Structures are given as structure tokens and as C-alpha cells.
Structure 1
Amino acid sequence: MKQRPTILDVAKEAGVSKSTVSLVLQGSSAVKDETRKSVRQAMVDIGYVYNRSAATLRSASSGLIGLVINDLRNPFFTEFAALFQMELAKAGFATVLANTDEDPKLQSQMISSLVEHGVSGFVISPSYGDEAATLAVLDAANTPTLQVFRSLERVEGTYPFLAPDYLHGGRLAAEHLIAQGCKNIAFLGGLEGRPVTRERMQGYLAVLAERGQNPVILTGQATRAFGKSLARRLQDEFPEVDGAICFNDLVALGVLSACPDLGIKVGSDLRVVGFDDIEDGQDSYPPLTTISCDIPDFAASTAKQIVAWIKDGVAPPSTARSPVRLVVRASSSA
């Protein structure tokens, strides 16, 4: 008996990827009309028939949840992914992990591929850029999708979004440095204009405005290397700065690593606060003061919400914020 044509056969006939054929089957607007026509014609030519009911059944019962992360090289996201996976396992679900490496094109491809594998839902910390393409793929998938840490902005609303209370974290950090006697506080790192950068900066700016202090903002990559370069820049261009709030712990650890060679005493000459509370911050020299996002609780809450959505149809609130707290260590306290 001749084997029925598959989606791979369609892709080969049309000269496109399997992901593209899947998007056409889902009616995605992300596919060009010319490509759509080519795929449809290939289906006719080889006699392919799409079993939509079977695909729906697979998705509803797969027990797979796609976890799409923007940067797994960052220990913060790695810790979240590991804890989230363990929480899902307790609920009888398996995690399929995808790292997009801050590449929006790769992000769309990964989501499409996971749809093809019949995931029952998505948790996504999105990469920024070409948001329309990513949203088109998610819309076509019609699968429970929860955004975490970051959100894709759109005029008509977003998928549910869960994140730590970044604004409050910025306030806690600024108020702490002022209480330590800092008169000139800088905000370091985070790409300019990104929503997550604006949020982490907002609390800092509010506190400085209340105290009549002028901000110093040096945005850029959220990496150790960028933080290391900022230590020299602060010394050369902003010698008056005596306190620094970093976009994340990686930037802060970069600052700390550069200070000894520059003759800067962290904790007295310059007081430094990070954001995220990754494990490396506890063992740095000096240990890093930071804003903790309590990732174990955050991972447990995320898993609970996506499972309830899939099993019981209970969608999470459109926006929710989890508590943060200040963890004081030697980098900000002499």
C-alpha cells in the first residue's frame, strides 16, 4: 500500500521548510502570499490531506510545554529554566527548551517547530525585534501562551505577562544607596529603549527626583564585559559617582572585577547594587548586593499558571508582578 504524503513531502515539493508548511496549514499571516500559493499547489500535486482534528488532539494531550528563552547563557534564565522544568515534571508535563539567543528570526522558527511537535502551551521570555512575525506565529498556533520577564508590545493587547516588580526593585536599590550616603548614583547597562530597561530604571529615576539628585545613565549590553568597561568610564568621565545600580548582576560583576586594577574600593569609594540575585553574586569579591527576584517561587508560580490554563482553561491575569527584595552584601556596605 502506498504511504500517504506527509508534511515533509509537501515541504520538499514546494522547496520550503517544514515550519513554513506548518504556518500555511495554520493560516498564519507571517507567510507571503506567493509562498502560500506554492505550498497549497504542492499539496494538490502530491495529494496531501491535512488531518486537522488529529493535530488538535495531539496538541491537547501531548503533555509538552515549550519554554522559549531569549538568552540561556545568562545564569538568571538558566536557573529559571531548570526550576521551571522540575515544577512541570511534578505536574506530569515535560519541557521542550529553546534558546533564541536574542534572535527574533530564530525565535519565530523555534516557536513554529514546537507547534509542529504538538506542544500544549508556551512559556516565553521573548527576544525583542520583528515582534509582528513572532506574534503572528503565536496567534496562528492558538495555544495557551504566557510571557515571562519581558513582553512583546502590541496595540491590541498582549498575551498574559508575569514578571518581577522591576519598578519596586529600582526604588529599593536607590533608597538603599542613598541611606548609605551616596550623593551621585548611576544606572548602568540595559539596552536603551527596551521596556525591561525602562522598568528597572523607573524606580531609580523616581527616587532621585524625590531627593533632588541628578541621574547618570549609561546604557548598553547587559554583560560582564560591558560592566567592566563602565568602571573605567565612570572613573574617567564621572568621578563624582559614588553609587551604581546595575541593570543586572552580570553588569555589576563586570564592574566589580575591574575596580581593583583601577584603585577603586568597592563598598566605600563606589557602592554597587545588581539585579537578579544569581549565584555568582554570593561568591564575588566583594559579595554583591542585589535585588532578588526569588526565582524558585517565580518558577513554581509560572508552572502552576500554565498548567491550570492547559488543564482547566483558567487563563492567568493579563499582567501580574511578583515580589522582589533587597539582599544587602559587602559591595554596597563598607
Structure 2
Amino acid sequence: MNRRPTIIDVARKAGVSKSTVSLVLQNSPSVREDTRQAVRQAMADIGYVYNRSAANMRMSNAGLIGLVINDLRNPFFTEFATSLQMALAEKGYSTVIANADENADLQEQVVSSMIEHGVSALIICPTYGDTKATFDAIARAGIPTMQMLRQVDDRLELFPFIAPDYVSGSREATRHLIEMKAHRIAFVGGLEGRAVTEERKAGYLEVLREAGMKPIVMTGKSSREFGRNAAKKLTEEHPDIDAAVCFNDLVALGMLSGFYEIGRKVGEDFLIVGFDDIQDVAQTYPALSSVRCDIAAIGARAANTVVNWLEHQETPQPAMRTPVSLSVRQSSQMKKRRT
């Protein structure tokens, strides 16, 4: 080799990414020992000598956590990102946040950039779609990475997963509506086939089977627009339905608007329970009942898990579920006043 070896040459020789070599130069604890040894050997084999001052500049990223969110427009994920960033700050870590906008290609791009900039760990609320390239790149870099709120990669030994107990939440919401004397209960929202939709729907279906009630499922985009249209469609096509468990609070808020437009009173003619319990739902009228996931607690738990992984080499358990509870408000409790 006639020119001075570069970091790219080291990466090619060791069979790793450029970002992994950067992490080795930083003495990052996030790199596996076998990977570290391979990179060091490649450096020796080709005679690579790094610029110490440049390495010190790279070290300025030590303690930087990459946080990738699938959709920051959704208040649920915004609240999670805020809670997690604050919890990490209390532990002395800075956070760089990116919005993947439910785009798997964009997610791959921002994750690659974060790896190249030497983040110590990654926390990802992943998009759906073809995400294998994203997680394969992380695996090659050997960076501690958590999947949050959604699981899209099955390699939980590499990418542990934390999420609320969605099944328990929909189960509790459905039982509550039955206790409030609902005669026919629908499940509204969530894209068909997605893991989160199936989990949130599962508790609903289980309780209806136990009660001998016939389910009706209306899946679709998890948005206010879908909820608004669903309220009208349910009234037109299934006038006997008098209650709904919604996939999330955005769908439930849309249903509130839709029923208001057609003159149907939520809390009297129709009962609604949302899911996530974002901050705004307690301020609507009628106030919206919702499954509370306690996003602040999840953020704190994620921060503790990642910091212990980095500082004490405490590998997280593969999958962790956090408890949920039901916040009962006007949208689902007024019907009990009927005789």
C-alpha cells in the first residue's frame, strides 16, 4: 500500500463497518471483545496509525445515545421521546433524536448516520417494513440497542424489547365496557396484521369470547380522520353497536368528533375507551377514558436498562412488559346511570 492506511482500509481488512472501527478507536464499551480484537489486529496488519487529536474529538461523543422514533407527529411517541431524553439526561447522557416518519429507508439512513457519529447505544421505536438492513448494520457495529414499544426484529438476544402489556390493557378496557352495560362492542383502528394491532385486539377478542358476545373489528389507519369516519360508518352499518375499544387515543378522539357531527352523545348513546392515555385526552369533552401505559415510567425504565448495559455490562432480559391501568372518564362511565 503506497498511501497511508485509512480507517476505511482497517474496516475492509477487519470485515466491519467504518463506524465500528471508530468505536474501537474511542475505546467504546459497546463493542464486543472479539470485534475489538479483530479491528486491532487489522490495524497492526496494515500499519494503521490513528491521529490522537482526531480520536479525542471523536471521544466527545462518548455518552451520546441515539433515539430513533417511528413517528414524532404522534403524541404517544413524542411523550415517550421526551420522557426518555429527560431520564437519560439525569444520568449524564445526551440524546440525539431522529424521526423515521414510518419510513424504513429513512430509518436505515438515520441509524447509519448515528453509528458513524459514534453513539454509545441506540434506542429505536422502529418503523414497520423491511428493517433487516437497519438491524444487521447495528449488529455488525456491536452497539447496544433496544427495541421500544414495537418489536420488528426477532433477535431479542441482540435487540431486547420493552413495551406495555397491550393485551392486558385491551382486556381491561373491554371488561369495563361490559360492566357499563354495553350490548355490542367494536374494536376500531390499527392496521391489520401488525403486531401491535394484533396484541391490542387480542384482549378484546378474549373477553368477548368469555362473555359470549360477537366481535366486530374495523381496522385502519391509526388517525383522527379514520376515527371520525368510523363513527359515522358504525352508526350507518351497525346501529346496534354502542361501545368501542379504540386502537389508540387518536382514533378515539376522531370518534368523539364524528359522533358530535351526527348528534350521537358519547357517554350516553355510545361508550368509548382509547389506548395510550396521552395528555390531551383528559382535557376533551367528554373526557376520554383510556388505557394508561405510563410513558414516563417506560422512559425511566429504558434509560436505566441502557445505562446499566453500558456501564455495568448488565445484558437486559430479551423481552419486558410494563404494567398498564385504565383511566376511567366521562366517555365510558355515564351509561351506568341508565336504568
Give TM class, smaller chain: 0.7 to 0.9
User: CA–CA distance in 1 between the matches of 2:155 and 2:119?
Assistant: 27
What's the RMSD between the two structures over aligned residues?
2.9
User: CA–CA distance in 1 between the matches of 2:283 and 2:179?
Assistant: 24
User: CA–CA distance in 2 between the matches of 1:248 and 1:221?
Assistant: 10
Equivalent in the alignment of 1:13: none
Equivalent in the alignment of 2:11: none
Cα distance 1:4–1:328, how it changes in 2: closer, same or farther (>3 A)?
farther
Equivalent in the alignment of 1:193: 193
The answer to whether the aligner puts 1:290 opposite 2:290 as a matched pair is: yes
Cα offset, 1:154, TM superposition: 3.2
Cα distance 1:180–1:52, how it changes in 2: closer, same or farther (>3 A)?
farther
2:114 alignment partner, SS class? helix
Encode CA deviations 1:48-88: one digit per residue, 9 max, x unaligned. Answer: 96969997995797110001100100111111111111111
Cα offset, 1:5, TM superposition: 9.0
Cα offset, 1:286, TM superposition: 0.6
Consecutive unaligned residues of structure 1, counting only runs of 5 or more, are 9-20, 27-46
User: CA–CA distance in 1 between the matches of 2:47 and 2:205?
Assistant: 59
Cα distance 1:109–1:322, how it changes in 2: closer, same or farther (>3 A)?
same
Equivalent in the alignment of 2:12: none
Equivalent in the alignment of 2:69: 69
TM-score, normalising length: structure 2: 0.82
Consecutive unaligned residues of structure 2, counting only runs of 5 or more, are 9-16, 23-45, 335-339
The answer to whether the aligner puts 1:316 opposite 2:303 as a matched pair is: no
Q: Residues 190 and 247 of structure 2 are in contact (CA less than 8 Å); yes or no, is this contact kept in structure 1?
A: yes
1:44-63 aligned at under 5 Å gives the runs 62-63=62-63
1:332 alignment partner, SS class? helix
1:41-120 aligned at under 5 Å gives the runs 62-120=62-120
Q: Residues 186 and 245 of structure 2 are in contact (CA less than 8 Å); yes or no, is this contact kept in structure 1?
A: yes
1:222-241 aligned at under 5 Å gives the runs 222-241=222-241
Equivalent in the alignment of 1:16: none
Q: Residues 22 and 112 of structure 1 are in contact (CA less than 8 Å); yes or no, is this contact kept in structure 2?
A: no
Cα distance 1:256–1:111, how it changes in 2: closer, same or farther (>3 A)?
same
Deviant stretches of 4+, over 6 Å: 3-8, 23-26, 47-50, 52-57
Cα distance 1:161–1:325, how it changes in 2: closer, same or farther (>3 A)?
same
Q: Residues 23 and 140 of structure 1 are in contact (CA less than 8 Å); yes or no, is this contact kept in structure 2?
A: no
Cα offset, 1:138, TM superposition: 1.6
Percent identity for Structure 1 against Structure 2: 48
Q: Residues 104 and 128 of structure 1 are in contact (CA less than 8 Å); yes or no, is this contact kept in structure 2?
A: yes
Encode CA deviations 1:186-234: one digit per residue, 9 max, x unaligned. Answer: 1111110000111111100100011111111111111111111101110
1:86-235 aligned at under 5 Å gives the runs 86-154=86-154, 159-235=159-235
User: CA–CA distance in 2 between the matches of 1:83 and 1:152?
Assistant: 22
Q: Residues 190 and 222 of structure 2 are in contact (CA less than 8 Å); yes or no, is this contact kept in structure 1?
A: yes
Q: Residues 187 and 247 of structure 1 are in contact (CA less than 8 Å); yes or no, is this contact kept in structure 2?
A: yes
TM-score, normalising length: structure 1: 0.83
User: CA–CA distance in 1 between the matches of 2:4 and 2:227?
Assistant: 57
Cα distance 1:57–1:277, how it changes in 2: closer, same or farther (>3 A)?
same
User: CA–CA distance in 2 between the matches of 1:62 and 1:74?
Assistant: 30
Q: Residues 70 and 102 of structure 1 are in contact (CA less than 8 Å); yes or no, is this contact kept in structure 2?
A: yes
User: CA–CA distance in 1 between the matches of 2:233 and 2:158?
Assistant: 39
How many residue pairs align between the two structures?
A: 301
Equivalent in the alignment of 2:246: 246
Cα distance 1:195–1:51, how it changes in 2: closer, same or farther (>3 A)?
farther
Equivalent in the alignment of 1:18: none
Equivalent in the alignment of 2:303: 303
Cα offset, 1:91, TM superposition: 0.7
Give 2:217's aligned amino acid: I
Q: Residues 192 and 220 of structure 2 are in contact (CA less than 8 Å); yes or no, is this contact kept in structure 1?
A: yes
